[in-house]
Amino acid sequence: MNNPIFSSTPELSVEQRGPVLWLTITREERRNAMSHGVLAGMTQAIASAQGQRDIRAIVITGAGVKAFCAGVDLQSAQAFTTDYSEPHGHLAQLLRAARASYVPLIARVNGACMAGGMGLLAMCDMAVAARHAVFGLSEVKVGVFPAQVLSVLQHLIPRRTLNEMCLTGEPITSAQALEVGLVNYVDDDVDARLQWLLERLLDKSPAAIRRGLYTLKKVETMAFEESISFTESQIALFTLTDDAKEGQKAFQEKRKPNWVGH
């Protein structure tokens, strides 16, 4: 499906497949390492998708079967920044866009997920991984540290696991990633598992998911009293949507709901 709002580049494929927007890093020869162009393109696509009600999910992946994303491209002369006078870097802007997204982001981890690639994984709301995938924060091996990645990773996995991965730079297997909650599912057929997960998402209320994801992200860093005050007002707004009215009516009539998305 060609949507004029989205455009691909030689480094990033942006493709709408029905209700799902696919963002694929197409730098297979560089193990899908992130360039500044890839980061800027992803940021723009995620931001633009927020106003497209026909987009129900965004899948982030890499080309081929060897690598999801190997992190920033260390072969680049300016791997980490292009302008030291600019307060916002490209990876930070992408993580901000992902945080602000009310369209669910799903990582399809088709191979090695390393360094900055762990940021792409952690910024997503759900993740499925191929069994051969490996995961690592290898920055200490090249004299730096996974600083920005910590913003999206520190509340996702146990602290001891995070400390070990950051301080040793050694990778973990897909089985270990599943055990510590870094991914939702590991499968020999990553595409079949991804499709299964998408189907379980796409048949639900678009309005509930959009406002629900907003609520989930807002309460994550709130103290209890702030959280309960915020959510007691949110639940009233949920019930005012057309989807909520249709969902309750369908339940009473014992039929499948016909979602309108608002």
Predicted confidence (pLDDT) per residue in 121-178, tens digit:
999 999 999 999 999 999 999 999 999 999 999 999 999 999 999 999 999 999 999 9
Give the alpha-carbon dihedral of 33, 34, 35, 40, to 10 degrees.
Answer: 160
At the second CATH level, the architecture of 12-202 is Alpha-Beta Complex (3.90)
d(Cα 155, Cα 158) in Å, to the nearest integer? 8
Token pair for 115: 């360094």
Pairing, β 112-114 against β 67-69: parallel
**Contact present, 258 and 246 (Cβ < 8 Å):** yes
92 three-state secondary structure: helix
Among 200, 206, 216, 217, residue whose Cα is nearest residue 258: 206
Alpha-carbon gap, residue 76 to 79, rounded angstroms = 5
What's the pLDDT tens digit per position in 1-32?
567 788 899 999 999 999 999 999 999 999 99
pLDDT of 197 strictly over 90: yes
Domain map (residue ranges) of the chain: 12-202, 206-253
Q: Give me the helices (H) in 67-115, please.
A: 90-99
What confidence score (pLDDT) does residue 5 get?
Answer: 82
How far apart, in whole angstroms, are the C-alpha atoms of residue 104 and residue 225? Answer: 27
Token duo for residue 6? 């989205």
pTM, two decimals, is 0.93
